[in-house]
Amino acid sequence: MGTLDDYLQQARDDVRHAQSQAQEVAQYSQRLKRIRQTAIDPTRSVAVTVDASGALLGIETPLAPPAVLAAIVQTYQAARKRANFLLIDEARKSFGDDSRIVRRLEDDLETVDPSRDHRPFQADRYRAERERRRAERESYGY
């Protein structure tokens, strides 16, 4: 059996170790946030950039205007945030609001509540606009 001093020293060592691990985790998290990787297709016509989690950060191609590429990335990111919200909601149902899992997901994921998003996707409007543009292109002989 150890003495009180031994137990106190062990407690101090445990605290130092926990603090060291917390610092390492924070540094690791910061390094992950800086990871970016770009892949280019074999024909060199499209480049895609992602972060460490695989989230789409950018698309580059001479085949489409920059505004279209930016719209694709923004739309993807909006959909991902909506999906993250639903993922966290399911975790709450399974594990409870106070769960460490839920708190970690909330800390790690960007979300948008789909019911509060003021820009819902309107498939009929999208299809009508696409059809209008197709007809316009045909009228110009494209």
Q: Using one digit for the tens of pLDDT, what is the confidence trace for 29-62?
A: 888 888 999 999 999 999 999 988 888 999 999 9
Q: Using the predicted structure, report yes or no on whether residue 1 has a pLDDT greater than 90.
A: no
| pLDDT tens profile 75-133 | 898 888 888 899 999 999 999 989 889 888 888 888 887 777 655 556 666 677 778 87
CA 90 to chain CA centroid, Å, is: 17
Q: Measure the CA–CA gap between 80 and 117, rounded to whole angstroms.
A: 13
Calpha distance 90→72 (Å, rounded): 27
Sorted by sequence, the CB contacts under 8 Å of residue 59 that are 6+ apart come out as 46, 47, 48, 49, 69, 72, 73
For strand 36-40 and strand 56-60, is the pairing parallel, antiparallel, or unpaired?
unpaired
pLDDT of residue 2: 77
* Residue 5 buriedness (CB in 10 A; 0-12 / 13-18 / 19+): exposed
